[in-house]
């Protein structure tokens, strides 16, 4: 349970950092801001990256700190794929906003991004 609590704390802390970054951008620049926020903060165990859509949907990707093979442009590409898949779900006329996402295509995109560590 201790590991789950630490992970939960990491996610919520990263969302606070996202809020700080997007609130620091002036209203006039908000439409021109970069969606990819980059490395939010590194911890001993994880590197936390953030992304915010124009409609203020926040995505967070957490990578094990020992994983040095992922480059910044690969993380950026992962966010783009996630954002595009999320947009496809939201544009589905049968999706009811606020409901849990139940899309095999979206699940497949997310599953392919995840790396299981033995």
Domain ranges of the chain: 2-113
CB-count burial class (<10 Å; 0-12, 13-18, 19+) for 14: buried
| pLDDT in the model for residue 48 | 92
| pLDDT in the model for residue 28 | 47
Contacts of 44 (CB under 8 A, 6+ apart): 65
Per-residue pLDDT tens digits of the chain, which is 118 residues long: 467 888 788 888 898 888 888 887 655 455 556 789 999 988 888 899 999 998 889 999 988 888 888 888 999 999 999 999 999 999 999 999 889 999 999 999 999 888 654 3
| pLDDT in the model for residue 27 | 53
Give start and end residues of each alpha helix (H) in 24-116. Answer: 72-91, 104-113
Fold type of domain 2-113: Beta-Lactamase (3.30.450)
In angstroms, what CA-CA distances link 27 with 21, 42, 58?
13, 28, 18
């Amino acid at each position: 349970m201790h590991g789950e609590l630490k992970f939960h704390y990491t996610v919520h802390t990263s969302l606070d950092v996202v809020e700080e970054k997007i609130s620091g951008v002036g209203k006039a620049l908000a439409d021109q801001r970069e969606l990819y926020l980059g490395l939010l903060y590194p911890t001993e165990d994880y590197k936390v990256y953030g992304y915010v859509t124009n409609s203020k949907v926040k995505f967070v990707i957490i990578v094990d700190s020992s994983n040095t093979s992922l480059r910044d442009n690969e993380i950026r590409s992962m966010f783009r794929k996630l954002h595009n898949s999320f947009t496809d779900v939201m544009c589905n006329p049968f999706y009811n906003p606020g409901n849990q996402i139940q899309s095999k295509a979206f699940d497949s995109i997310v599953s392919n991004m995840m790396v299981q560590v033995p």
